[in-house]
Amino acid sequence: MNKEKFNNWLDKPEKCLIMGIINMTPDSFSDGGNLHSTNQAIDFAYKLIDNGADIVDIGGESSRPGANPISDIEEINRISPLIEELGKNTNCLISIDTYKPTTAKFALDNGVDIINDISGLTYDSEMVDIISNFNATVVIMHMKGNPKTMQENPKYVDLINDIKDFFTNQIEIATNHGIDKKNIILDPGIGFGKVLDDNFEIIAKLKQICDMGYPVLVGPSRKSFIGETLNSPVNDRLEGSLAAASACYMNGAKIVRVHDVKETKQNLLIIEKIIESS
Angle, alpha carbons 51-57-63 (nearest 5°)? 125
Taking phi first (over 0 means left), then psi (-120 to 50 degrees means alpha), and beta for anything else, what does residue 122 get? alpha
Cα–Cα separations (whole angstroms), residue 149 to 115, 120, 274: 23, 16, 42
257 among known catalytic residues: yes
Residue 273 amino acid letter: K
Question: What pLDDT shows up at residue 145?
Answer: 76
223 among known catalytic residues: yes
Question: What pLDDT shows up at residue 63?
Answer: 76
Find residue 58's DSSP bridge partners: 22, 96
Whose CA is closest to 87, among 60, 58, 66? Answer: 58
- Among 100, 164, 194, 257, which one carries the catalytic annotation? 257
Angle, alpha carbons 17-19-22 (nearest 5°)? 170
CA 136 – CA 139 distance, rounded (Å)? 10
Whose CA is closest to 113, among 183, 217, 15? Answer: 183
DSSP class of residue 67?
P
Entry pTM: 0.92
Q: Quickly count: other Cβ atoms within 10 Å of residue 15's Cβ.
A: 16
269 SS3 class: helix
- Among 222, 223, 254, 265, which one carries the catalytic annotation? 223
Whose CA is closest to 16, among 54, 59, 61? Answer: 54
Name the architecture of domain 3-276.
Alpha-Beta Barrel (3.20)
Question: What pLDDT shows up at residue 40?
Answer: 87
Q: Cβ distance 256 to 217 under 8 Å?
A: yes
Question: What pLDDT shows up at residue 29?
Answer: 43
User: Tens-digit pLDDT profile for the chain (278 aa)?
Assistant: 566 667 776 776 668 999 999 998 874 444 544 555 788 889 999 999 999 999 999 999 987 777 778 899 999 999 999 999 998 898 899 999 999 999 999 999 999 999 999 999 999 999 999 999 999 999 999 998 777 777 787 889 999 999 999 999 999 999 999 999 999 999 999 999 999 999 999 999 999 999 999 999 999 999 999 999 999 999 999 999 999 999 999 999 999 999 999 999 999 999 999 888 88
Contacts of 185 (CB under 8 A, 6+ apart): 114, 137, 138, 139, 140, 214, 215, 216, 217, 254, 255
Ordered by start, the domain boundaries in the chain are 3-276
Question: What pLDDT shows up at residue 13?
Answer: 65
